[in-house]
Copies of this chain bind each other. A is one copy, B any other.
Amino acid sequence: MNLPGRNINLHISVDCVIFGFSTNQLKVLLIKRAYTNTSGTLSNDHKLPGDFIAIKEDLDLAASRTLEELTGLKDIYLQQFAFFGRPDRISKSMDIAWLTETTGHKIQRVVTAAYYSLINITDTNSDFAIKNNATWIDVKQVPDLAFDHATIITNGLAHLQLTLRNEPIGFELLPEKFTVRELQTLYEVILDCSLDNRNFRKKILKSTYMVQLEEKQSGVAHKPAYYYRFDRNIYEKHKKESLGFNF
């Protein structure tokens, strides 16, 4: 057992990759941070919403807390997907400056637990985010970010893609009622491919958890589509793993 000379400078944090979907784009929630750069002027850039964990705080709860503090959202699909702990992830001068300014301590190393979550962007949570200096940014156009947060987003996206292929999680990103086309577009944007609308419809409607509503679209310049909702209870009941293995 090799207990290193441990000191006050090792910290643990959580970072949340919060995906949202609007105007046919997959977006991540980023918050603006300010730091004093080497020439003494105030600069800005972006980072993932995250925070150090409290000394007795559970990691999952810390992630939920951060999410709630930044978006006001509670009880959201939120999952740990990786840890990032390279010793050199704190090395850029602006990151060191920002850590010192905000914590008042010289921080040498932070290991972070990355969580991802999917939320339906609504006016309410969007307003809340804006108040907290947060913005929704298209994942295809993320600017330079603090620390290794760009890598974390890339990993989170890969994780999202993988999960979307195997589980019906796309619904989390859509409003309560949605059309089949909206769902398909979401798949196409996240998976970055195009899908045949007839086959997509066939496949998705075969699943029992897609419940057709009586309401149709209105005011559209084409045949109006029925709205659907996702029935979580039906899904949970029918969720049994297939025994096939593919490789």
User: In the assembly, what is the distance between CA of A87 and CA of B144, in Å?
Assistant: 34
- Whether A219 sits at the interface, judged by CB under 8 Å, is no
Known: A87-B58, A166-B246, A245-B164. Contact between A7 and B8, CB under 8 A? yes
Chain B nearest CB from A170 CB (Å) reads 9
- Whether A120 sits at the interface, judged by CB under 8 Å, is no
0/1 per residue, A150-171, Cβ < 8 Å to B?
Answer: 0000000000000011111000
- What residues of chain B lie closer than 8 Å to A247, measured between beta carbons? 165-168, 207
0/1 per residue, A182-205, Cβ < 8 Å to B?
Answer: 000001000101000000000000
Q: Would you call B85 and A113 a contact (CB within 8 A)?
A: yes
**In this complex, what residue of B is CB-closest to A12?**
B111
Q: Would you call B80 and A1 a contact (CB within 8 A)?
A: no
0/1 per residue, A77-121, Cβ < 8 Å to B?
Answer: 000101101110000000000000011110011010100000000
- What residues of chain B lie closer than 8 Å to A86, measured between beta carbons? 58-59
Q: Would you call B4 and A53 a contact (CB within 8 A)?
A: yes
**In this complex, what residue of B is CB-closest to A108?**
B55
User: In the assembly, what is the distance between CA of A58 and CA of B89, in Å?
Assistant: 10
Other than A6-B8, A164-B245, A165-B244, give 18 A-B pairs with Cβ distance below 8 A.
Answer: A1-B52, A2-B51, A2-B52, A2-B54, A3-B104, A3-B105, A4-B52, A4-B55, A6-B52, A10-B11, A12-B111, A53-B85, A55-B109, A83-B83, A85-B113, A166-B245, A166-B246, A207-B247
Q: Which of B10, B51, B187 contacts A1 (CB 8 A)?
A: B51
Number of copies: 2
* Interface set, chain A 32-67, CB cutoff 8 A to B: 51-59
Count contacts on A: residues with CB < 8 A to the other chain.
49
- Whether A242 sits at the interface, judged by CB under 8 Å, is yes
- What residues of chain B lie closer than 8 Å to A245, measured between beta carbons? 164-166, 187, 191
Chain B nearest CB from A218 CB (Å) reads 30
User: In the assembly, what is the distance between CA of A247 and CA of B236, in Å?
Assistant: 12
- What residues of chain B lie closer than 8 Å to A59, measured between beta carbons? 83, 85-86, 111
User: In the assembly, what is the distance between CA of A83 and CA of B10, in Å?
Assistant: 17
* Interface set, chain A 211-247, CB cutoff 8 A to B: 242-247
Chain B nearest CB from A51 CB (Å) reads 6
